[in-house]
């Protein structure tokens, strides 16, 4: 399995701009998000990320691409440490690929729905969608490592998405975007809390 430094297609690399642009925008006009909104959306997305990891494990096992799955998890983890485990091999049967594409689309619908339910204003909904996406994506890799001990390193390449074409990148790239996104939302929300405290103090 070959590793790569940049994501492919080239435009996937531009995703790193999204949290940076959002942070700049939210500093100009702070977010209005409570700690409970962030906590519950984060918990949902983290759990959803583990479910995503489990689905990928099942899918690869069903396609015969998960060495050792007939045995214990320990045997799967040993196989994952060898060259027999290749996450870039995703030549699934057409039936499973069709289901996988629908599952990815449904995942986005679920994350958007949570953001719509958790906030009213468009800005807060966009921030919560990014927040949910970041937790979901990060805990997807946490779930994979907890179950099958993959990725072996942050430099390992992975298929991030299949819509509209396969996105391939080293694992550190989506985790970097996730970290920047979480930081941007926290800074935007912290700015709101500081502003509210300052107004309260001025009122006293």
C-alpha to C-alpha distance for 204 and 17, rounded to whole angstroms? 41
Local structure of residue 170 (DSSP, 8 states): E
**Domain membership of residue 110 as a residue range:** 10-24+31-194
Local structure of residue 162 (DSSP, 8 states): -
Residue 204 within a domain:
no
Residue 5 within a domain:
no
Q: How confident is the model at residue 88 (pLDDT cuts 50, 70, 90)?
A: low
- Quick: pLDDT tens for 157-195: 998 988 888 899 999 999 999 999 999 999 998 755 444
Residue 72 within a domain:
yes
Across the chain, mean pLDDT equals 86
> Into how many domains does the chain fold?
1
Q: Calculate what percentage of the chain has a pLDDT beyond 90.
A: 54
| pLDDT of 15 strictly over 60 | yes
Those residues with Cβ within 8 angstroms of residue 5's Cβ, 6 or more apart along the chain or in another chain: 170
- pTM (2 decimals)? 0.86
Residue 48 within a domain:
yes
Residue 199 within a domain:
no
- CA nearest to 45, candidates 163, 178, 146, 166: 178
- Quick: pLDDT tens for 187-202: 998 755 444 444 444 4
Residue 49 within a domain:
yes
- Please give the pLDDT value at position 66: 78
77 CB neighbour count, 10 Å cutoff: 16
| 43: its two tokens | 């918990």
- DSSP letters, 25-93, are HHHHS-----HHHHHHHHHHHHHHHHHHHHHHHHHHHHTT-STTTTS-HHHHHHHHTSTT--TT-----
Local structure of residue 168 (DSSP, 8 states): E
Q: How confident is the model at residue 10 (pLDDT cuts 50, 70, 90)?
A: very high
Residue 200 within a domain:
no
Q: Interior CA angle at 113 toward 174 and 27, to 5°? A: 60
């Amino acid at each position: 399995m070959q590793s790569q430094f940049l994501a492919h297609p080239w435009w996937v690399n531009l995703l790193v701009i999204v949290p940076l642009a959002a942070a700049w925008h939210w500093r100009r006009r702070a977010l209005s998000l409570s700690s409970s909104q962030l906590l519950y959306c984060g918990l949902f997305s983290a759990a959803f990320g583990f479910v995503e990891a489990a689905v990928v494990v099942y899918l690869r096992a069903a396609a015969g691409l998960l060495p050792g799955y007939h045995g214990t998890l320990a045997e799967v983890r040993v196989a994952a440490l060898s060259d027999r485990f290749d996450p870039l091999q995703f030549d699934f049967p057409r039936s499973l690929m069709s289901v996988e594409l629908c599952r990815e689309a449904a995942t986005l619908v679920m994350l958007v729905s949570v953001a719509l339910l958790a906030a009213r204003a468009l800005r807060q909904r966009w921030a919560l969608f990014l927040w949910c996406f970041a937790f979901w994506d990060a805990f997807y890799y946490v779930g994979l490592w907890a179950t099958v001990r993959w990725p072996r390193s942050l430099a390992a390449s992975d298929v991030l998405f299949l819509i509209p074409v396969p996105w391939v990148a080293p694992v550190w790239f989506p985790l970097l975007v996730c970290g920047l996104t979480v930081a941007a939302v926290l800074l935007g929300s912290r700015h709101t809390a500081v502003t509210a405290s300052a107004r309260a103090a001025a009122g006293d």
